[in-house]
Structure 1
Amino acid sequence: MSYLTRQWYACLLGLAVLSAPVAAQEFRVGFVNTDRIFREANTAKAAQTKLEQEFSRREKELAELGNALKTASERFEREAPTLPETQRMSRQRQLVEQDRDFQRKRREFQEDLNARKNEELQQVLDRANRVVRQVAEQEKYDLILQEAVYINPKHDITEKVIKALNASK
């Protein structure tokens, strides 16, 4: 059988399946917006607060270090024309080292924050997925999607999931 013939038979079979009478049981599809869960669920808000508390001190230290570096750089720019060559080169090397240290600390901070954020969001997602399964089983859904290009709002069960998440401990 040629490729086109197989394609034709596959299309006919697909049409036959789609046009067959629907069984007494309806196929139910639901949709969950995970971004909305991450924004609105109490567990997600608690995770965000936890991260802010955990990283606020380091963030403040980085801001102070950045401001000190900026101040030192501005002072160097003002004083550089009047400094002897050796002193100017020495201060310039110091500024380069301070900037390198600042960039390293900022990168480490961002990496640590991202790793912790991923851990916390994964915990929220795991809990949300358990609740989605519960809602799907209770309301007899056959399929729950988490990403879609378009979804009819009547299939969106995000609100039910958020309420169930907020109700559970």
Structure 2
Amino acid sequence: MEQNELLLRTAFACMSCDGDIASEEVELIKRLDREKRLFGDVDIDKELDELVKEINLKGKGFLKQYLISLAEESLTEEQELQVADVAVQTIRIDNRIEYSEIKFFKVLRSNLKIVSDETLLDKIDGIDENYLAQDIQADYLQMYDDYFSTIELPKFEILKQDLKSVGS
């Protein structure tokens, strides 16, 4: 998977992992696309709509598939740092950090094989020890099963095209 697609799927997975897609999360993705071209040369509205359709079809399977894809990637330390940064930005943007989001991040983090916790704490704004607690690294499968046994995903509505972008 290309890095820009991985980053978009990371943002979307973190945006939907708590069962709610907040408008601030959508606006963040659009801003990252507009200002940094982080997701490549894509029609971001169309891509987001396709991801909503995919998660509605697959439910938790979408998030599981994302985590499996992430685990299979051979990323550099910089790429792993970028994945973690996009994840944390997305989780924090709505100023409501749910426990399910922290649990999901811990599972995501366990699939980043190179970057150290110290580097994450040093380089990513807003990340703290809560994101990196040892429970996930002690037993990945238990945390994975725990996250997916407790989260319920609704059917999401197609994202509104008329949302105002941040900074517009």
Q: How does the TM-score come out when normalised to structure 1?
A: 0.22
Instruction: Looking at secondary structure, tell me which structure has more helix per residue.
Output: 1
Structure with higher RCO (Cα < 8 A, 6+ apart):
1
- Point out the structure with max Rg over C-alpha: 1
Q: TM-score, normalised by structure 2?
A: 0.22
